[in-house]
Structure formats: structure tokens, C-alpha cells
Structure 1
Amino acid sequence: MTFPVITHHGGTRGVTGSCHQLHLDSATSLLIDCGLEQGADARPDSSALGFDISGIQALVITHVHLDHVGRIPALLAAGFRGPIICSEPSAKLLPLILEDAFKLGISSEPTQVARFLQVLASLVKPIAFADWHSVVEQEHLQCRIRLQRAGHLLGSAYVECDVGTCAQVRSTRVVFSGDIGAPHSPFLRPVQPPERADVLVLESTYGDRLHPDRSERRQRLEVAIDRALADLGTILIPAFSLGRTQELLYEIEEVLHHKGLLDTSPAPASDDQVNWAQLPVILDSPLAQRVTQVYRELHQYWNDEARQILSEGRKPLGFAQLVCVDSHAKHQQVVNYLKSTGRPAIVIAGNGMCSGGRIVSYLKTMLGDARHEVVFVGYQVRNSPGAVIQASQGRAGESQVILDGEMHVIRAKVVTLQGYSAHADQAGLVAFASGSGRAPESVVLVHGEPAAKDALRKALQRRYLRDGWRCEITVPE
């Protein structure tokens, strides 16, 4: 067998469960991500590890979404005690994400949670972006890795692995894309394609489509807010705690700042007019609040535009109108207050699919009132409550949805805002896979549905053929 060789322990049947083992020789390997299978991808015991850990020298994490890190508790339970290497922002975020997942999926018993977090903290080894780091130094085998920004969420990276032996004149460069982000994302610096890749393991989530122009999405959000608040209703935005929530807060602050600059009238708002200076933005998710605090602390990793906003004295993740709801009792108070007063507000609450979490309380209270509006900014899994609500767009009063076992008529307005995908589209993926000026020797397509992988494979073939490049493109089963 010719090394290096890659074994896939997830991420090949769909868009979740990313976990790839890079075998450097017959006894030595690295693990790139250790993700949980979710939704339709999930096997009956999807949280189980499912593979032998002997010989794994280190786990390298691309980013901290659960479909890339959710099996880490199982990895530690199997006895892994090697380093968990990730970017410095990911090292701050990982305990928050895994603590929440551990409590929900394994145990909320404080002693067990504390023990898990203690072991995790002892293993996490943050490294700086763009610096090479040696992970294997043996007499006849060397491997070093480098993390580069992937633009998917704060701290996300793609992984470059340089593998060599004494017998080789030239090392082999294996690149794992993780999840590549789309352009024009708040906070995030743009993705730079790898300078070299002999083997590229490439995600294909949106390999079969092109995204709408993202550069004007803040303006589209402003229009949606204006339209909803014209009826003095509440805007409900279902969103996941990590990444999407922080982007929304950033852009809502931009909208509020823009409105403040435009509002030159000294007179207070009337009863039938929204007072933008008084409009509460309610963040109702304890995990999202903890993640947002970490995002604030990591401002040195923000892009130039976001840091310029900070230098002007603005607080895109901590503006005055932001109201954070922590306890369940306070959550119920806010729901009842909005119901009884009818006061306009913007509410961001989890979860993003409306299948659970605090957003459900708001939906049960407000879906039946046409003054309110549900704004979707993310993909809705088929047959989820969120998908049912989204499908009612433009048919107010004609559809129903089951929430907590009860049927609710959907009279609220429903809108879907495009441009909020955190994944690169087909054009972005092709640019990433060809940005070095030559094709890899091999591209392995993972993390996508079959149609997306097939479309991306054909797009890559066209691109490489155009420039006369040869490349083997494979889709593992």
C-alpha cells in the first residue's frame, strides 16, 4: 500500500458527520474532525465512535459545529488522549459547544460534565493560523500541519498536511477543506485557496447551486424589518447559536445605526410609528449569549470592516437595545409581555429548525396573529416545523403546523431572506479547488448530497479541462 491513505468515518453519505483518518503509514495516523451525523444522515447510534483509535497521533479540528466535533465525547470515552489541535478561536468556542451537547446527549450531572470538560481542556492545543506545526517526528516519517482561514465561522480553518519520509524527495500535501465559507460574511476574513494540494478532500454542500448576491443582504434584512414593523408586530428569527446568531446581531446593529443616522426628527415616535431608538432586540438563548461573549473577546480575529466599526465606538455584538434572556422564567416573562403589550420587537431564539428550543414558545404565542412575521435566514430540513412554516409563505391563514403536539394556524407573515448561507456555492468551491494555479492530483468529494457531489464533480472537470489540467475526482461511498 502506498501512503498516505485516507479512511472516511463519516461525511460521505450526506452533509453531516465529517470525520477523516489520514494514515501516514500502517501504524500512524491523524484524525481530521470527529463529527456527529445529524438528521437524515444519522445512523441508529450516530453518537458512537465506530472505529479503532489505535495509532491516532492527534485530532485536528476544522471548526466547532457539531457535525464536525460532536463525536469527541465518544472519542475521549474510547481512551483517546492525544492533542486536539485547532485554531485559537475554536479553542475558546469548543468547550461551550461540547458542554451543551454533553448535557443534552450524555449527562447533565454536574460532576460528569466537569470531568469531561477537565479532560477536554487538558487536550486542546490551539495553534496560530498560517504557521506550520509538527505533529509526527519519527526517524523515517514526518508530518506537519498548517491551519488556514476557511471563512465559514469565526475560527474555522482548512487543514494542510505535509507528509514526508526520508526516501521522498518531495513531500505529499493533503488538504482537508472542512467547510468553506461564502464571501461577504460579517467578522470573517476572505478565504485564500491553498497554495498547493496533491490531494484535496473537498466539501460539496452547495456543489449544485449558486448563491444569490450576498453583498446586499443587510439591505434586504432592513426592508424585511421595515415591512414587519409597519404592522407594529414582533419579528421572530429562528437561528442556531453559533455563527448565524452573531451575523444577525452584527447586521441588525448596522440597520439600527443606519436608521439612527437617517432619523433627523426630534419628535418622539407616535403610537402607530416604530421608535427605532427604543426597539428591543431580544436574544433568547443562553448558549448563543455565551458564544456571542466569546466572539466579542476574539475581536482581534475579526475582519478589517468589523474592527473599524469597533474603533468608531460602536458595539455590533453588545449594542444598547440588545436584551439578553437567560433563565427559563425570564423567557416566559418576555413571551407573556410581548403577547400582552403587543410591543414591536425583534426576537432571535433557537433552534433554527423550530423543532425545539425557546423559539417554539414565541411561535405558539404569535403564529396566529397576522401582525407578526417569521423571518427565516437558514435552510429548513424537510418535514421540520420550520419547513412547514416556511412553506406557508404567501398563504397566511391557509396552513397549520404542529408545535409541542398541538396544531397552530399560521396567520403571521412568513419571509425567507436569501444570502445567509455559511457555505461556499459551486463557484466558490471551484475557485478554492483551482486557486493555486494548477489542479490537485486527486480531489475527493465529501460532505454533500449525491446530486451536489455529482454537479460539483462535473464543474471541476470542466474547469480543469479548460486549462488542460489532469485530476482524478472521486466520490467515496
Structure 2
Amino acid sequence: MEFPSLSHHGGTRSVTGSCHQLHLDSTVSLLIDCGLNQDADAQSGVASGPVSFEVGGIQALVVTHVHLDHVGRIPALLAAGYRGPILCSEPSAKLLPLVLEDAYKLAISSNPVEIDRYLALLRKLIVAVPFEQWYTVTERNGLVCSIRLQRAGHLLGSAYVECDVRYPGVDDTSRVVFSGDLGAPCNPLLRAVKPPERADILVLESTYGDRMHTGRNARRQHLEAAIDRALADRGTILIPAFSLGRTQELLYEIEDILHGKSLLGPGEKGRGDDPLATLDWSQVPVILDSPLAQRITTAYAELHEYWNCEAKQRLQAGRHPLGFGQLVCIDTHAKHRQVVNYLKSTGRPAIVIAGNGMCSGGRIVNYLKAMLGDPRHEVMFVGYQAKGTPGAVIQASEGAQGFVQIDLDGRMYDLNLKVMSLDGYSGHADQAGLLSFALEGEQPAREVILVHGEARAKAALAAALREATKSSAAINISCP
């Protein structure tokens, strides 16, 4: 067998479960991510069963970012005996225990002693690696492998991984790059992605390889229009959002919208019988109903040194985009039930952000049960909905005519509220971004392996790559 070589343990036929093994020789390897399959048939927490591969010889686990579809099998990896380092960026080192503690409680055990033991082991293994610096992972018998983390723009701390492998007696190194999840360029908090300088082999995500996103200005206008519409109806906007990344991005945008509207003052927005004319925008509550999202938002605020220049300037101007005055955080389940009942029975406008993002569990389900039948309200999807999840079913009803029902926890509910999908808030790069990443480095990728995407997206991206390189050196494209 020729080395380095790759094997894949997830994330090749769907957009979840990313787990890739880089074999340096017959006995030594690296693991890039260890994610959970989160399609409709998969469990929603963390993997407690055994991993499907041998952990012996794995020198390090390198984490691109801390979404569960990239880290959710870490408990299973540890249960299989892995005790090597977990390498990740400095922000990810702070966020990873928060994410895995919450998932462990939900899926494995809520016993405080077990949780503390698990977190102590996890923290012992985590090694924070600064961005843009080479870090030697293994060095033996003339074989040297080093990694470098570069910002991926997907969420705070997200990275793509450059692996440089040098073999004894060989002058040139082999460069293998794992994209992880690449972000869209319009993320208001994060720095934009820069393509890798070179890649002999590029393992590239393809989530949105078949489409283009709207720009940031357009998406903000659509979000503002949706807020106007829902508030005019005296309804609640329900936003199912993932606790990590998307929630913080939404809070940042909503704060800016409401800040601008509050400067107008009541009555300046409209006239006459316009229901928005008398609305005091500064009093519209933005309800964050997710204990995990609250802890992560606090961590995001503490990690502001990793924000981009625009976000830092807003802080310097005295505004707090992740902790503004209208933000109401709901912690206990009792308060959650009170808020659901209050919003259901009153006509007070509100914006609710609640987990989870695909409506397959979490507090958003109780809001949906209470409000699905009332056309005053609106559910707004701002990200990918996996096939078969309740979120995908509700999203598919957008614009439907006639009688529609949905099954939530074994009961059928009439679906009368408005449904909207807001383009442009994807945390993933679109086709143009993926092409740029693969082809616009100093030495474009010579071999591209497409992962983390459904068949249609991978096929479209493969075709676009071939078209973009047909007049230059041939590029080898494969889909494992």
C-alpha cells in the first residue's frame, strides 16, 4: 500500500458523521474528527456504542470544530481505550467540554460522578494548538507528521487541517488537507476563509456543492422583513437554531436590526393604522431558550479576541451584540413552560431562538406544539434540515395549500403557522466558496476527495471542479 492513505469512518454519504483516518504507514495514523451520524435514524446525543475501527496506532485525534457531527463519537473513542491527545484550536478547546458535557448528560448519563470523571479525562487529553503554527504530532524512524490549523470561518474556533508528512529519504513532503466544515464569507463574527497554500490531497466538504447563497445584505433584509411581518401580526417568530454558531450569528444580526429600529422611536416606523407604528422596538423580547446556547454564547463573548474587526468595533462602540438589553435567557424548565404558555395565550410580539436546530428534540418542540395551529406565528429555518427530521417535514410544507399535519412525539398537529426558509444563513460555504478553496491557493489541489455531502451536491461540485480545471492540469476527483 502507498502511504499516506485514507480510510473513512463516516461523513461520506451524508452531511453528518465526519470521521477520517490518515494512515502514515502500516501502524501509525491520525484521526481527523470523530463525529456522530445525525440523520433521521440516528440517536440525537453522543455515541455510547463502540467505534467501528481500531484505535491502536492512532497518534492523535484532530478536531476541526465542535459540532456533534464532528465530535459526537469521542465518548465511544475514549471507551475503546483511546488516550492520545485531542488537538484543536484554542477556542475549540474551551467550547468542546461544554458541548460534550451537555450531550453526555442527554444520551449517556446524568450521574454527576460519571460526568465529572468523563470531563476530567476529556480536559486532560485536550491540547490547544494556536492557529497558523506548525505542530509536530509524531516523529519516529525518520517519519515526521506535523499539522497546522487555519481558520475555517464555520464557527468560532473552526479550522481546516493541513497535514505535512515527511518520509525518510524523500525530499518533498506530502500535504494532505482536511477542510472540515468551511464557512460562508458573510459570517458577521468570524474572519473569512483563505485557501490552503497547497494540497496534494484535499478532503473537501460538499454540503452546498450544488447551490449559491444570497449575500449578507440580502439575508439581513429578509430577516428584518420577516420580523416586521411577524410583529405586525402580533405573533412569535420561532427560530430553531443550533446552540453553537448559528445562535450567536443570529443574535448578532437581530441586535443590529433592533438597535436600528429603536433609534427611530415609536411612531416613526409607520403611520395611520400600521400596527408597527405604535410598537416600541426597544421592548420586543428576544428569548434565548436553551441552557447550552446560553453557556456557549457566554464563551463566545469571552473569546472576542477571535472575532473579526467589524464585531470588535461594535464592542468598542459600547454595544453588546451577544448580551444586549432585550435578550432574555431562559434557564429552568419551569420558566420555559411559563414562557411557552404566555406567548401562546397573549398577543405580545416576540422572537424566540430555541434548540434544537432540526426540531427533533429540545425546547423548540414545546413551542411548536403550542403554536403550530395559530397563523399569527411563524417558524423560520435558517439552516440545513436533515431528511426525515421534523424540521425537514415542516420546511417542506412552506407554501403548501390545504390541510397539513405533522407528527410530534407521536401526536398529530395541524400546521397553520407561517413557514419560511431564510437563505444566506448557512454556516457552510456555497459552490463558489468551495471552488475557491480548492483551486485558488498558490498550488491548487491535485486530488480532491468529496465528503460530507449528499449525492446530488457532490455530483454538482465534482462537475463544477472539472469545468473549472478543464483548461489546466488534470485534477483527480473522487467520492468515497
TM-score normalised to structure 1 length: 0.95
Deviations 1:417-452 (A, max 9, x none): 111111111111111000114432321111111222
- Kindly tell me the number of residue pairs found equivalent between the two proteins: 474
Instruction: Please report how far the alpha carbon of residue 410 of structure 1 lies from its aligned counterpart in structure 2 after TM superposition.
Output: 2.0
CA distance in 2, matches of 1:13, 1:68: 15
Does the CA contact (< 8 Å) of 1:371 and 1:412 recur in 2?
yes
> 1:168 matched to which residue of 2?
170
Supply the AA of the counterpart residue of 2:294.
Q
Task: After TM superposition, give the deviation of residue 264 of structure 1 in Å.
Answer: 7.2
| Cα distance change on mapping 1:340 and 1:441 into 2, 3 Å | closer
2: distance between equivalents of 1:446 and 1:390?
25
Preserved CA contact (<8 Å) 1:187 1:306: yes
Paired residue for 1:387? 392
Show the counterpart of 1:470: 474
Q: Aligned to 2:187, which of 185, 188, 213?
A: 185
Tell me if the contact between 1:438 and 1:469 (Cα under 8 Å) persists in the aligned partners. no
In structure 2, distance between residues paired with 1:43 and 1:319: 35
Q: Secondary structure at the match of 2:144?
A: strand
Alpha-carbon shift at residue 47 of structure 1 (Å): 4.7
Correspondence 1:30-429 to 2 at 5 A: 30-40=30-40, 42=42, 47-263=49-265, 273-395=278-400, 398-429=403-434
1:282 and 1:345 in contact (8 A); partners too: yes
Taking the aligned partners of 1:144 and 1:331, their CA distance within structure 2 comes to 47
Closer, same or farther: CA 143–184 of 1 in aligned 2, 3 Å: same
Return the alpha-carbon distance in structure 2 between the equivalents of residues 237 and 397 of structure 1: 24
SS at match of 2:470: helix
- AA in 2 matched with 1:23: H
**Structure 2 CA distance, aligned partners of 1:48 and 1:469?**
43
User: Is this contact kept in 2: 1:3–1:23, CA < 8 A?
Assistant: yes
Give the aligned partner of residue 450 of structure 1: 455
> Aligned-pair distance for 1:141?
0.9
Output the CA distance in 1 between the equivalents of 2:206 and 2:97: 28
8 Å CA contact 2:265–2:280 kept in 1: the answer is no
**SS state of the match for residue 210, structure 2?**
coil
Aligned with 2:120: secondary structure?
helix
| CA distance in structure 2 between the partners assigned to 1:368 and 1:265 by the alignment | 31
Give the deviation of 1:137 after TM superposition: 1.8
Structure 1 SS opposite 2:365? helix
Structure 2 counterpart SS, 1:411: coil
The answer (yes or no) to whether the contact 2:267–2:279 under 8 Å persists in 1 is no
**Does the Cα contact within 8 Å between 1:130 and 1:147 map onto a contact in 2?**
yes
Distance 1:472 1:86 in 2: 29
| CA distance in structure 2 between the partners assigned to 1:434 and 1:427 by the alignment | 10
How far apart, in 2, do the equivalents of 1:206 and 1:399 lie? 29
| Offset at residue 271 of structure 1 (A) | 12
Range that drifts further, 406-415 or 10-19: 406-415
Cα separation, 2, equivalents of 1:383 and 1:138: 47
AA partner of residue 377 (structure 1)? V
AA of the residue aligned to 2:393: V
How far, CA to CA, are the matches of 1:140 and 1:193 in structure 2?
Answer: 29
Closer, same or farther in 2 for the Cα pair 1:366/1:43, shift >3 Å? closer
Higher mean alpha-carbon deviation, 103-112 vs 302-311, is at: 103-112
**Preserved contact between residue 175 and residue 199 of structure 1 (Cα < 8 Å):** yes
Distance in 2 between the 1:406 and 1:49 partners? 34
Instruction: Specify the code of the residue in structure 2 equivalent to 1:325.
Output: I
Query: 1:420 and 1:379 mapped to 2: Cα distance?
Result: 10
Q: CA deviation at 1:296?
A: 0.6
Pairwise CA RMSD: 2.1
Alpha-carbon distance in 2 for matches of 1:235, 1:199: 44
Are the counterparts in 1 of residues 262 and 280 from structure 2 also a CA contact under 8 Å? Answer: no
Instruction: State the distance in 1 between where 2:387 and 2:40 align.
Output: 9
Q: 1:110 to 1:46 in 2, by over 3 A?
A: closer
SS, match of residue 39 in structure 1:
coil
Indicate if the aligned counterparts of 2:48 and 2:108 stay in contact, CA closer than 8 A.
no
Deviation at 1:409, TM superposition (A): 1.7
> Which deviates more from structure 2 when the two are superposed, residues 318-327 or residues 214-223?
214-223
Residue 28 of structure 1, CA deviation = 1.2
Unaligned runs of 5+ in 1: none
**Aligned to 2:440, which of 416, 435, 448?**
435
- Unpaired segments ≥5 residues, structure 2: none
Which shifted more, 292-301 or 43-52? Answer: 43-52
In the alignment, residue 471 of structure 1 is paired with which amino acid? I
Query: d(CA) in 2 for partners of 1:438 and 1:196?
Result: 5
Compared with structure 1, are the counterparts of its residues 141 and 383 closer, same or farther at alpha carbon in structure 2 (3 Å cutoff)? closer
1:469 Cα deviation after fit: 1.5
Question: Shift of the alpha carbon at 1:366?
Answer: 1.8
Cα 1:13–1:271 change in 2 (3 A) is closer
Name the aligned partner's letter for residue 470 of structure 1.
A
1:391, distance to aligned residue in structure 2 (A): 3.0
Give the conservation status (yes or no) of the 8 Å contact 2:50–2:80: no
Q: For the structure 1 residues 265 and 210, does the alpha-carbon distance in structure 2 shift closer, same or farther, using more than 3 Å as the test?
A: closer
